[in-house]
Amino acid sequence: MRRYTSENGVKELTDNDQSTSLVKVKGFSMLPALQVNDRLVIKTSNNYQNGDILVFEYADKQIIVHRLLKIYNNTYLCKGDNSFYVEQVFLNQIKGKVILIKRGDKIFTPPVVTDEFIALSFKVNKEFRRNGYNIDSTMKGNVYKEYINVRGSLCTM
């Protein structure tokens, strides 16, 4: 497993096996699906699907945990469930996908999202850009309210 450190998204990624790693969540960008101090088992792959939760290295070498919304022209479009911005990521930046979540003494698989949730994620990003990247204005809109309702049904842990 590999070890990475980040100020954003995750705290630890340890090194031993080349195909799986352990990650400790540090940030809030994936609430409610992932919470601070959740431990994630990630697995490397070359085959990622829309809805997978990916761990990737982003612009300034930070390790981020966000959901894959779409693959378009070899670009992976990702967004945190509790975020507004869509990142463009390439395969060589991806460390793996989350296959298990450990929260306290419970272990479970990542919540599966619907096509509706993915479409709403893109709509929230579009509203965010339309509002001049203003979070407060975006949160007041009907698109965001609908997104929150759908997002809230993802996690029961």
Q: Does the pLDDT value for residue 1 go beyond 80?
A: no
Report d(CA 92, CA 54) in Å as an integer: 12
Chain segment 91-142, per-residue pLDDT in tens? 999 999 999 999 999 999 999 999 999 999 999 999 999 999 999 999 999 9
What domains are defined for the chain? 10-112 (2.10.109.10)
Confidence of residue 46 (pLDDT cuts 50, 70, 90): confident
State the DSSP string of 114-149. Answer: -HHHHHHHHHHHHHHHHTTT-HHHHHTSHHHHHHHH
The pLDDT, as a whole number, for residue 155 is: 61
Note if the pTM is more than 0.75.
Answer: yes
Report d(CA 116, CA 92) in Å as an integer: 28
Chain segment 75-92, per-residue pLDDT in tens? 999 999 999 999 999 999
